[in-house]
Amino acid sequence: MSSIFNQPWKLVQNRIRGKGGREIDRFRGVTPQVDDASGSEAWIGSTTRVGNPPADKPNYGCSEVILPDGRRMFLFEAIALDPKAVLGQEHLDSTGEGLGVLVKYLDAQAQYGLQCHPTREFAKKMWNSSYGKEESWYVIGTREDTAEPAYILLGFKEGVTRADWEKHYYNNDIPALEKLCHKIEVKVGDAFFVGGGCPHALGEGCFVIEVQEPSDITLGAATYEVAKKRFGTMPVDEKTYDERLLGAYIYDGCGYDENLKRWLIPRKVLRKGDWGDESVVIGPEQTSYFSFTELSVKGEAELKPTGHPQIGIVLSGSGKIVFEGGEMEIKQADEVFLPYSIPGGKVVGDVKIVLCNPEGAKL
C-alpha cells in the first residue's frame, strides 16, 4: 500500500478577504452563488499567511488539507510530519519547508486597487524579505453582467516618468494614475505575467488563477494619510512609506503592442500524445521563481515528475489520479496537493488540470 506521503492530498476549499466571490462559488458548484464578505479570494495549497492576519486567526491565508488517513490539519503542519518525504531533499535544500509558491483565485466583482509589488532585490532591501512578489494571471472566467467587458490595467504607457507618477500620487488622484497605465480587454485563456515593479489592477469582471511568489507585500497607490484612514494601524513606518511605494515601481513604459509582447504570454507545448497534451502557461522564459502548466487528458497520462511538490486545480471534466496502491477521484474545482514523489502517478479520464510549481521545478 502507498504511504500517505507519496499519494495526492485533498485540499480544503476556502474563501478569504474582500467582497465578491460569486464566480468562485459558480466554478466550485456551490450554492447560493453570491458576492459577499466571505471573500473575493481563495488561497490554494498555501503555507503563506496574509500580511496582517486578524488577531483571532493567526494562520489566516494558510490552507488546510485532509490527509489520506482522514486527519485534517493545516498544510504546513502536514508537511512538518515528514518534510523530506513530502517535499524531497532538493526542495528542502533550495527552499526549506515552505512551498516557495502561492496560488490563488481572484474574483473581481469590482476593480481591484491600482498597485505594484516589489522585485526580490527591493523586497530584501526595504522589508528584509526573501521573496518579492512577481505574479501571473490565468483568466479562467469573466462576468457577463459588468458595465464593460472584463479588463486589466497592466504596465506603464510609453514615456511615463517617476515625476509624472509622483505628481498624481501626492494629489491622491487615482483616475489620473490609472490613465498612465495600459488598459487591456481580456478573454478566457489569456495568461499574463506581472513583473515586479509593474503597475497593475485586476479589472471588474475578471476571474483568474494567480500564481506568484509566496509573499503578501502589496503596494497600493494611496498616500500614507489616506491609507491610515482606510486601514487604521499601519505596519510601515511613515518615514519610509513613500519610498517603499514610489521606489518599487520600474518606470520603463512602452507602447500598447510592445506592452502586450512583454506581458501577454503565449502557450508553449511541453509534451503531447494520443492522450492529450501538457502546455507551459508561465515558465522559465518569464521567471525563475515559479511556473505552471495545463495538463489536458483524454485517456491516460503520466504525471511528469518535477523533483518538487505541486499544487493542482481541476479546471474541467472529471477522472482520477492513480498511484501505486490506490486512486483519487477528481472533478472540476477540486484542489489537490501533490507531494514530490508519487510512484506510478498518472491521470485517467477526460480532464484538465493546472499544475503549479515552485522555483527549481523541472518542466
What is the value of pTM for the model shown? 0.95
84-111: burial string, b at 16+ Cβ within 10 Å, e else:
eebbbeebeeebeebbbbbbbbbbbbeb
Residues 150/186, Cβ–Cβ less than 8 Å: yes
Instruction: Say how many C-beta atoms besides its own lie within 10 A of residue 230's C-beta.
Output: 11
Please report which residue ranges of the chain form alpha helices under DSSP H: 22-28, 75-81, 83-87, 89-95, 120-127, 162-170, 174-178, 224-231, 238-246, 256-263
| 179 CB-near residues (< 8 Å, 6+ apart) | none
Residue 217, domain CATH? 2.60.120.10
Q: Which residue has the cell 486512486?
A: 327
- What are residue 194's phi and psi, to 5 degrees? -120, 100
Residue after which a domain boundary falls, among 263, 282, 299: 263
Q: Are residues 118 and 211 in the same domain?
A: yes
Instruction: Give the per-residue pLDDT at 234.
Output: 63
Question: pLDDT tens, position by position, for the chain (363 residues)?
Answer: 468 999 999 999 999 998 999 999 999 999 999 999 889 999 999 999 988 788 889 999 999 999 999 999 999 999 999 999 999 999 999 999 999 999 999 999 999 999 999 999 999 999 999 999 999 999 999 999 999 999 999 999 999 999 999 999 999 999 999 999 999 999 999 999 999 999 999 999 999 999 999 999 988 888 888 877 776 666 677 888 899 999 999 999 999 999 999 999 999 999 999 999 999 999 999 999 999 999 999 999 999 999 999 999 999 999 999 999 899 999 999 999 999 999 999 999 999 999 999 999 999
Give the rounded distance of the alpha carbon of 130 from its chain centre.
Answer: 18
Distance CA 70, CA 68 (A): 5
With 0-12 / 13-18 / 19 or more C-beta atoms within 10 angstroms meaning exposed / middle / buried, residue 55 is exposed
Q: Are residues 175 and 248 in the same domain?
A: yes
Instruction: Give the per-residue pLDDT at 233.
Output: 61
Q: Are residues 114 and 198 in the same domain?
A: yes
Q: Provide the β-strand partners of residue 17.
A: none
Distance CA 304, CA 141 (A): 27
| 272 CB-near residues (< 8 Å, 6+ apart) | 278
Q: Are residues 276 and 287 in the same domain?
A: yes
With 0-12 / 13-18 / 19 or more C-beta atoms within 10 angstroms meaning exposed / middle / buried, residue 317 is middle
Q: Are residues 147 and 202 in the same domain?
A: yes
Residue after which a domain boundary falls, among 263, 298, 327: 263
Residues spanned by the domain of 142: 101-263
- Looking at the 3D structure of the chain, how many domains does it have? 2
Instruction: Say how many C-beta atoms besides its own lie within 10 A of residue 54's C-beta.
Output: 9
Residue after which a domain boundary falls, among 213, 238, 263: 263
Residues 92/222, Cβ–Cβ less than 8 Å: no
Q: What is the pLDDT of residues 259-296, one digit of tens each?
A: 999 999 999 999 999 999 999 999 999 999 999 999 99
Write the DSSP string, 21-84.
-HHHHHHHT-SS---BTT-SEEEES-----SS--TT-TTTTPPEEE-TTS-EEEHHHHHHH-HH
Q: Are residues 189 and 271 in the same domain?
A: no
Looking at the domain assignment, is residue 39 inside a domain? no
Q: Are residues 166 and 179 in the same domain?
A: yes
Looking at the domain assignment, is residue 30 inside a domain? no
Looking at the domain assignment, is residue 36 inside a domain? no
Looking at the domain assignment, is residue 28 inside a domain? no
Q: What is the pLDDT of residues 190-246, one digit of tens each?
A: 999 999 999 999 999 999 999 999 999 988 888 888 877 776 666 677 888 899 999
Q: Are residues 81 and 126 in the same domain?
A: no
Give the rounded distance of the alpha carbon of 3 from its chain centre.
Answer: 29
